Amino acid sequence: MIKHITLIIAICISTILIGQNNQISLSPGYANQSFYSMQNGEIINTSNEDWDIAFSTDAFSATIRINDGKGVELYTYPLGDTISWTTINNSSINILTNPMYNSDTKWSSGAFDTNQVGGFDYGWGIYNLQNHHIVGDSLFIIKTVNGTWKKLWMERKSSGAYIFKYANLDGTNEISDNILASNYDNKLFIYYSLDNNILLDREPPLSDWDITFTKYITEVQSTPYSVTGILSNEGIEVAQADGIQNPLTYTNYSSHVFQTDINTIGYDWKTFQGSYILDPERCFFIRDYYQNIWRLFFTNFDGMSTGNIEFNTELITSTNISETEKQSTLTVYPNPVSSGQEITLIHELLSSNKSEANIVLHDISGREVYKSSILTHNGLNAHKIATEKFNKGIYIISLKIDGWEKKERIAIY
């Protein structure tokens, strides 16, 4: 009897140590996309074959991504700017070169942004410092997820709305539309189907998910290739641990570097050798919005026949940060600011005596140009940044304290 009790206890302890087994399915052919919360499991499992372009909802962003993982192709029309709208025709496909892809390291860089040259250039349009509109200066040719070729002109973004038009290459079926993306600012993106002329709200709120299982383009042996893998949400940090003999019981996350690249988990935890082989000595640690640390270990991957992915998760550390402890305010002045002049950040920390604040400045391409960590205290705090080393253009400054983040756009002229 004692032996049986001992065995039951051992089984229970083993179950606790190895966490929880989970499965999601992307359906045969990886037709779906899954948004997943480490705390609450799968949040949304939705079709990934019904959209072509995705618009950033961030007021300070003009990022536009494409569904490249599912076959959408994007090209800049090479023979003219927006005045050439009527000259595009069915034969224009024959002169297309250099397809453009989304970044797989950050959400803030989409295929439409590829042509950025710095300053006030957003890739598909130019920022107007007077009225704060982004005015489209390029034409694009796009192949939709259904294989239809269309011409597309992103005309402008103003007051949180994207205004654009598109048509068949021969000019027929021309449609003008506008997307008030600011109405969806609790999401990363709002989506659009060019074939069906409809807006698609297919993404859970930002704070509800940590990772997404999906198809995306990445470089494999220096060639853009569509892969099936995992991308992390904005603000989620991931550490990869390799060479671990017992990943299901390994908890030493502090020995590994946490990354903000959204493809840190990526696709290469598996290889194809006639069938899919998983790396038995690799696991991942995920730091969620609330600074909880989770371990993730893949246990099975079926491939495109079912789209099933099995994995094990375990909560390693838990940090309960109340909403009041994460609250703060941010003001930046002067804004716009002339080159060489200092900008001042004023932020008020609420309901906390002392905390470390991370200040990061990105240019419009998403490149980090400034970073600083300072110790703040309850009440008003000020921080100055010299601008003489920055090029003229639009920048996004972010303040992050205890998992809370606030962003502001600044213009240097």
Output the pLDDT for position 334.
83
Helices (H), 207-288: none
The answer as to whether 123 is a domain residue is yes
Output the pLDDT for position 366.
74
Based on the domain organization, do 249 and 293 belong to the same domain?
yes
Based on the domain organization, do 212 and 188 belong to the same domain?
no
Would you say 112 and 162 are in contact if contact means Cβ atoms under 8 Å apart? no
C-alpha distance from residue 316 to each of 288, 336, 352 (Å): 12, 45, 25
Based on the domain organization, do 79 and 189 belong to the same domain?
yes
Of the residues 159, 175, 200, which one is the last residue of a structural domain? 200
User: Residue 205: is the preceding peptide bond cis (ω within 30°)?
Assistant: no
C-alpha distance from residue 226 to each of 216, 220, 229, 285 (Å): 5, 9, 10, 25
Total tally of structural domains belonging to the chain:
3
Based on the domain organization, do 153 and 67 belong to the same domain?
yes
At residue 375, the 3 state secondary structure works out as strand
402: domain CATH number is 2.60.40.150
Residue with tokens 């008020």: 348
Output the pLDDT for position 332.
83
Of the residues 200, 219, 238, which one is the last residue of a structural domain? 200
- pLDDT averages per 10-residue partition of the chain, 413 residues: 41 51 97 96 97 93 96 96 96 96 95 86 89 93 98 95 97 96 93 97 95 97 95 95 96 95 97 93 93 95 96 88 52 81 75 70 80 74 82 82 74 81
Would you say 281 and 248 are in contact if contact means Cβ atoms under 8 Å apart? no
Output the pLDDT for position 226.
97
The answer as to whether 5 is a domain residue is no
At residue 1, the 3 state secondary structure works out as coil
Would you say 123 and 112 are in contact if contact means Cβ atoms under 8 Å apart? yes
Based on the domain organization, do 306 and 334 belong to the same domain?
no
Of the residues 252, 284, 317, which one is the last residue of a structural domain? 317
Output the pLDDT for position 320.
55
The answer as to whether 16 is a domain residue is no
Output the pLDDT for position 142.
98
Output the pLDDT for position 40.
93
At residue 14, the 3 state secondary structure works out as helix
Based on the domain organization, do 195 and 262 belong to the same domain?
no
Residue 286's nearest CA partner among 232, 357, 207 is 232
Based on the domain organization, do 149 and 183 belong to the same domain?
yes
Based on the domain organization, do 353 and 373 belong to the same domain?
yes
The answer as to whether 376 is a domain residue is yes
The answer as to whether 3 is a domain residue is no
Please give the Cα distance from 351 to 322 (Å, whole number).
10
Output the pLDDT for position 5.
40
- State the burial class of residue 64 (Cβ atoms within 10 Å of its Cβ: 0-12, 13-18, 19+): buried
Output the pLDDT for position 350.
59
Based on the domain organization, do 333 and 310 belong to the same domain?
no
Whether the predicted model's global pTM rises above the 0.85 cut: no
Residue-number span of the structural domain to which 371 is assigned? 323-412
Please give the Cα distance from 343 to 385 (Å, whole number).
5
Helices (H), 99-250: none
The answer as to whether 363 is a domain residue is yes
Based on the domain organization, do 186 and 102 belong to the same domain?
yes
Output the pLDDT for position 344.
84
Based on the domain organization, do 221 and 275 belong to the same domain?
yes
Output the pLDDT for position 38.
96
Based on the domain organization, do 303 and 329 belong to the same domain?
no
Residue 406's nearest CA partner among 327, 290, 336 is 327
